[in-house]
C-alpha cells in the first residue's frame, strides 16, 4: 500500500508539473505577454547598462573630463525633453490609425522627415546660442557646446522613432532602440580603455555613434517610405494641434515639477539626502517600468477599443502588489550588501516611494488609453493639477521633513494623477456607451 501511495504521489507531482509547464507555454505563446516581457527586459537591461556606463565614466574619465561629459549630456537631455513639441505623441497616434502596412510606412517616412528638419534647426539654434550659454553657465568650452549641438541633431529623430514603433506595435524594434545605444557605448568605451584612452571627446563620439547606429537600424527595420510626405506632414501637424501639443505641455509641466523636488532637497537639506532619494527612486523604478511596458504593448489595440480589458488591470495590479512586497522585503539586505550600511537611510524612503510607484503604475494603462484616443486636453488638465499639487505639498513638507517630504508629496501627487486618469476614463467610456 505504501508503494502504491508513493507511486500515486509521484504521478500527481508529474501531472502537476506538466500542467504548470503547459500553462507557462500557453502564457508565453500570447503576443501581449511576450511583448511586455521583451520591453520590461530591455528596461531592466537599460538600468544595468546605465549603472555600468556610470562606473566606466567615473573610473576612467576623471573628475574634469567627466564633468565636461556630464555637462554636454545634460544639455542634450534637456533638448530631448523640450524638443518634441508634441510631434512624437501625435505621430504615434497617426501611425496607430493607419489602415495598411504601406500607409504605416509612409506616415513613418513623413515623421522621419519632420524629425530631421527639427534636429537640424535645433542644432543651428544651439550653435548660434553658444556665446549666451557660455555667459550663463560660466564656461569657456565653446568646442564642447558645438559638439552638443551636433548630438542634438539626433534628439528629435530618436524620440519620433520610439513613438513610431509604439504606434505601429513594433515592440522588438522599440526594445532595441531602448537598449542598443547604451550597449554600444559600453562596448566602445571598454574598447577604448583596453586599446587606447577614454576622454570626454571620445566618450561623446561613442554616445553619438551609438545613437546614430540605433536610429539607422530602426530605419532599416521599419522599411519606411517617403511617399506623399507633404500631405502626410499636414496630417501629422493637424494632429499635433488637436492633441500632441496639449499632451506635450502637460508632460513638460509634470516632468519639470518632479525635477524641482531634487533641487528642493539639495537646497533645504543636503546632497547626501538627495543621493538617498535618488537611490530609493531607482529601487522602486522596476515596478513602474513593468506597467509602462505592459501599457506600451497594448497601445495600438487600445486606440481601437471603447474600454480597457479588465484582465489588463488585474495583471498590472497583481504585479505591482507582488513587486512592492518583494522590494520591501529585500531592500534593507540589498542596500547593506551592495551599497554598504552608509546608505541605509534610503530604506525608509523606499517604503514611502513604494506607494508612489504603485499609484504611478496603476494609471499607466488608463494613460495609454487616453493617449491612444488622442485626449490631449484631458491629459494636459491632469498634468497641470498634479503639477500644482506636487509643488504645493513639496514646498510645504520638504523644509520640515526633508527628503521624506518629497517622497510623501510624490505619493500624494501620483494618487491625484491616478484619480484624474480614472475620472476622465469613466467620462470617456460613458460617452462611448451613450453614443453607441
| Confidence check: pLDDT of 364 > 90 | yes
In the predicted model, what is the mean pLDDT of the chain? 82
Instruction: Give the closest residue to 293 by CA, choosing from 21, 100, 43.
Output: 43
* pLDDT value of position 24: 45
pLDDT above 50 for 392: yes
Q: pLDDT (tens digit, 9 = 90+) per residue, 11-67?
A: 554 455 454 455 445 544 467 778 888 888 888 888 888 888 877 877 777 777 777
pLDDT band, residue 276 (cuts 50/70/90): confident
Question: How many other C-beta atoms are found inside a 10 Å radius of the C-beta of residue 414?
Answer: 25
Hey, how many other C-beta atoms are within 10 angstroms of the C-beta on 330?
12
More confident residue, 5 or 112: 112
Q: How confident is the model at residue 112 (pLDDT cuts 50, 70, 90)?
A: very high
b/e string for 165-197 if b means 16 or more Cβ within 10 A? Answer: bbbbbbbebbbbbbbbbbbbbbebbeebeeeee
Rounded to 5°, the CA angle 36-38-41 comes to 105
326 — pLDDT class (breaks 50, 70, 90)? very high
pLDDT at 390: 84
Residue with cell 491612444: 372
The domain spans of the chain are 32-227, 243-436
pLDDT for residue 180:
92
Cα 47 off chain centre by: 11
Q: Are 383 and 250 in contact (CB under 8 A)?
A: yes
More confident residue, 5 or 435: 435
**Comparing 248 with 234, which gets the higher pLDDT?**
234
Other beta carbons less than 10 A from residue 55's beta carbon: 11
Altogether, the residues listed in the chain come to a count of: 436
Residue 271 CA to residue 251 CA, distance in Å, equals 27
Q: In this structure, are residues 320 and 286 in contact, taking their beta carbons and an 8 Å threshold?
A: no
CA dist list (Å): 252 to 84, 219, 428: 10, 28, 24
Q: How confident is the model at residue 393 (pLDDT cuts 50, 70, 90)?
A: confident
Handedness of CA 243, 245, 251, 253 (dihedral sign): negative
Long-range contacts of 346-351 (CB under 8 A, 24+ apart): 346/276, 346/277, 346/279, 346/280, 346/283, 347/280, 348/404, 349/276, 349/277, 349/279, 349/280, 349/403, 349/404, 349/407, 350/280, 350/283, 350/284
Q: What pLDDT does 424 receive? A: 92
Amino acid at each position: 500500500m505504501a508503494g502504491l501511495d508513493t507511486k500515486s504521489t509521484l504521478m500527481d507531482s508529474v501531472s502537476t508539473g506538466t500542467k504548470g509547464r503547459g500553462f507557462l507555454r500557453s502564457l508565453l505563446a500570447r503576443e501581449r505577454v511576450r511583448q511586455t516581457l521583451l520591453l520590461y527586459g530591455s528596461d531592466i537591461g537599460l538600468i544595468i547598462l546605465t549603472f555600468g556606463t556610470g562606473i566606466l565614466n567615473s573610473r576612467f574619465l576623471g573628475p574634469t573630463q567627466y564633468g565636461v561629459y556630464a555637462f554636454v549630456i545634460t544639455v542634450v537631455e534637456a533638448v530631448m525633453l523640450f524638443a518634441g513639441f508634441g510631434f512624437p505623441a501625435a505621430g504615434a497616434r497617426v501611425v496607430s490609425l493607419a489602415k495598411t502596412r504601406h500607409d504605416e510606412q509612409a506616415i513613418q517616412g513623413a515623421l522621419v522627415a519632420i524629425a530631421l528638419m527639427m534636429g537640424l534647426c535645433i542644432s543651428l539654434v544651439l550653435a548660434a546660442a553658444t556665446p549666451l550659454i557660455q555667459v550663463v553657465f560660466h564656461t569657456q568650452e565653446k568646442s564642447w557646446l558645438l559638439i552638443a549641438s551636433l548630438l542634438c541633431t539626433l534628439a528629435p529623430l530618436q524620440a519620433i522613432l520610439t513613438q513610431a514603433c509604439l504606434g505601429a506595435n513594433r515592440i522588438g524594434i522599440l526594445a532595441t532602440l531602448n537598449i542598443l545605444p547604451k550597449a554600444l557605448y559600453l562596448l566602445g568605451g571598454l574598447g577604448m580603455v583596453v586599446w587606447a584612452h577614454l576622454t570626454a571627446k571620445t566618450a561623446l563620439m561613442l554616445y553619438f555613434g551609438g545613437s546614430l547606429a540605433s536610429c539607422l537600424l530602426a530605419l532599416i527595420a521599419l522599411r519606411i517610405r517617403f511617399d506623399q510626405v507633404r500631405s502626410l506632414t499636414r496630417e501629422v501637424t493637424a494632429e499635433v494641434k488637436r492633441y500632441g501639443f496639449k499632451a506635450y505641455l502637460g508632460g513638460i509641466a509634470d516632468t519639470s515639477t518632479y525635477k524641482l523636488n531634487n533641487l528642493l532637497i539639495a537646497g533645504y537639506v543636503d546632497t547626501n539626502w538627495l543621493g538617498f532619494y535618488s537611490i530609493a527612486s531607482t529601487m522602486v523604478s522596476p515596478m513602474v517600468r513593468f506597467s509602462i511596458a505592459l501599457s506600451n504593448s497594448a497601445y495600438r489595440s487600445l486606440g481601437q477599443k471603447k474600454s480597457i480589458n479588465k484582465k489588463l488591470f488585474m495583471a498590472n495590479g497583481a504585479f505591482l502588489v507582488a513587486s512592492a512586497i518583494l522590494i520591501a522585503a529585500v531592500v534593507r539586505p540589498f542596500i547593506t550588501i551592495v551599497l554598504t550600511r552608509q546608505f541605509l537611510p534610503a530604506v525608509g524612503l523606499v517604503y514611502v516611494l513604494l506607494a508612489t510607484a504603485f499609484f504611478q503604475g496603476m494609471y499607466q494603462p488608463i494613460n495609454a488609453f487616453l493617449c491612444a484616443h488622442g485626449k490631449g486636453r484631458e491629459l494636459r488638465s491632469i498634468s497641470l493639477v498634479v503639477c500644482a499639487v506636487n509643488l504645493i505639498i513639496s514646498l510645504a513638507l520638504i523644509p520640515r521633513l526633508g527628503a521624506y517630504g518629497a517622497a510623501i508629496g510624490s505619493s500624494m501627487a501620483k494618487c491625484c494623477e491616478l484619480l484624474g486618469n480614472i475620472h476622465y476614463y469613466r467620462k470617456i467610456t460613458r460617452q462611448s456607451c451613450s453614443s453607441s
